[in-house]
Amino acid sequence: MVVYLTGTRAACINAATLALADAGIPMRDIVTSCSAGYLCSTPLLGMTLLYILSLERII
């Protein structure tokens, strides 16, 4: 199930991780996030809404 199609979820996850690191809060590791999918059998990262609406599948 796709919840967000605009990449805002990935941006929020990255921003929250950077805020925690900047505040000096101890973490075991750094979390990152990005959007990915396949279009015409080509893997894509950081997709725009135009690509997302044309996807064969979303990873």
**pLDDT tens-digit map of 19-41:** 999 999 999 999 998 877 777 78
Question: What's residue 19's pLDDT?
Answer: 97
pLDDT higher at 42 or 55: 42
Q: What percent of the chain has pLDDT over 70?
A: 71
* Domain definitions of the chain by residue range: 8-58
**3-state SS assignment for residue 30:** coil
Is 42 within 8 Å of 22 (Cβ atoms)? no
Helix, coil or strand: residue 17? helix
What pTM was estimated for this model as a whole?
0.63
